[in-house]
C-alpha cells in the first residue's frame, strides 16, 4: 500500500511538472496560474502546493529539468567525438542549436534569469552544463591543445558568450543565423588553439 501511495505521488508530481513545462513554454511564466496547471492534470490546487509549494517552486523544478536535458543533449553531441577539440566544438554547437528549441528558449533563456534571478539561474546552469564546458577546456589545456591558463575564467567567458549568442539566435528572424553563428564560434574557438611552433 505504501508503494502505491509513493507511486501515485510520483505520478502526480511528474504530471504537474509536464503540464507546467508545457504551459511555461507556450505562455511564459507570468501567464501561468498554478491552479490551472493542477486542474489540467486532475488534482487539487492543494496537491500542487504540496509538491511544489508555489508557482515559483514549480517553475524552478521545470527549469532544472529543462537545463538537465540541455546538458545531456550537449554531452551526447560531444561524446560522439573522440578528439577533444571536436568534442568541444560539437558541444558548443549543440548548445547554440538548442536556443532554437522553443522550450529551451522561453523557459531557460528568457524567463528563468528574470524569474529566478541571475545568481540562481547561473548556479543551475553551472550544475547542468557549465561544468561540462570547464571539464572540456581543462582536458584541452592538459593535452596542450590550448595554452596553459586558468580554466574557470575561460569557461565563464565562453559560457557567457554562448548564452548571449543562444538568446540572440532565439529571437533572430534570419534563417541563416545559426550557420553564421557557428562560423563565428569556430573563429572564436580557433583563437584558443595553441599555434604549432
**Distances from the Cα of 16 to the Cαs of 59, 102, 115, 144, in angstroms?**
11, 20, 19, 48
CA dihedral 182, 194, 160, 26 (to 10 degrees): 30
Choose among 92, 90, 88, 128: nearest CA to 107: 128
Model pLDDT, residue 18 = 97
The pTM of the full predicted model, rounded to 2 decimals, is 0.86
3-state secondary structure (DSSP) of residue 146: strand
Q: Residue 83 gets which letter from DSSP?
A: S
pLDDT at position 2 is: 55
pLDDT in the model for residue 178? 92
CA angle, corner 53, sides to 47 and 55, nearest 5?
Answer: 95
The predicted pLDDT at position 197 comes to 53
Q: How far apart are CA 70 and CA 133, in angstroms?
A: 13
pLDDT at residue 62, as a whole number: 97
**What was the pLDDT predicted at 118?**
86
Ordered per-residue pLDDT tens for the chain, 197 residues: 556 888 888 999 999 999 999 999 999 999 999 999 999 999 999 999 999 999 999 999 999 999 999 989 998 999 999 999 999 999 999 999 988 888 998 999 889 999 999 889 888 887 777 778 888 999 999 999 999 999 999 998 998 899 889 888 888 888 899 999 999 999 999 999 987 65
Helices marked H in the chain: 2-27, 34-40, 45-52, 55-79, 84-98, 102-103, 112-116, 118-125, 131-142, 151-171, 177-190
Distance CA 30, CA 70 (A): 23
Confidence (pLDDT) at 186? 93
Residue 145 DSSP label: S
Looking at residue 65, what is its pLDDT? 94
Q: State the pLDDT at residue 192.
A: 92
The string of DSSP letters for 31-77 reads G--HHHHHHHTT--HHHHHHHHSSHHHHHHHHHHHHHHHHHHHHHHH
Amino acid at each position: 500500500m505504501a508503494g502505491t501511495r509513493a507511486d501515485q505521488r510520483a505520478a502526480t508530481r511528474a504530471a504537474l511538472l509536464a503540464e507546467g513545462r508545457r504551459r511555461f513554454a507556450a505562455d511564459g511564466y507570468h501567464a501561468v496560474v498554478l491552479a490551472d496547471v493542477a486542474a489540467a492534470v486532475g488534482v487539487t490546487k492543494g496537491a500542487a502546493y504540496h509538491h511544489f509549494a508555489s508557482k515559483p517552486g514549480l517553475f524552478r523544478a521545470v527549469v532544472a529539468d529543462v537545463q538537465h536535458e540541455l546538458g545531456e543533449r550537449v554531452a551526447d553531441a560531444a561524446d560522439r567525438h573522440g578528439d577533444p577539440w571536436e568534442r568541444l566544438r560539437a558541444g558548443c554547437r549543440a548548445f547554440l542549436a538548442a536556443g532554437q528549441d522553443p522550450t529551451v528558449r522561453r523557459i531557460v533563456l528568457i524567463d528563468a534569469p528574470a524569474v529566478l534571478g541571475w545568481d540562481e539561474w547561473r548556479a543551475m546552469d553551472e550544475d547542468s552544463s557549465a561544468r561540462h564546458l570547464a571539464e572540456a577546456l581543462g582536458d584541452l589545456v592538459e593535452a596542450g591543445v590550448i595554452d596553459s591558463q586558468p580554466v574557470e575564467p575561460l569557461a565563464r567567458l565562453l559560457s557567457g558568450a554562448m548564452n548571449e549568442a543562444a538568446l540572440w539566435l532565439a529571437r533572430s528572424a534570419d534563417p541563416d543565423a545559426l550557420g553564421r553563428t557557428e562560423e563565428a564560434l569556430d573563429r572564436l574557438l580557433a583563437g584558443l588553439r595553441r599555434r604549432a611552433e
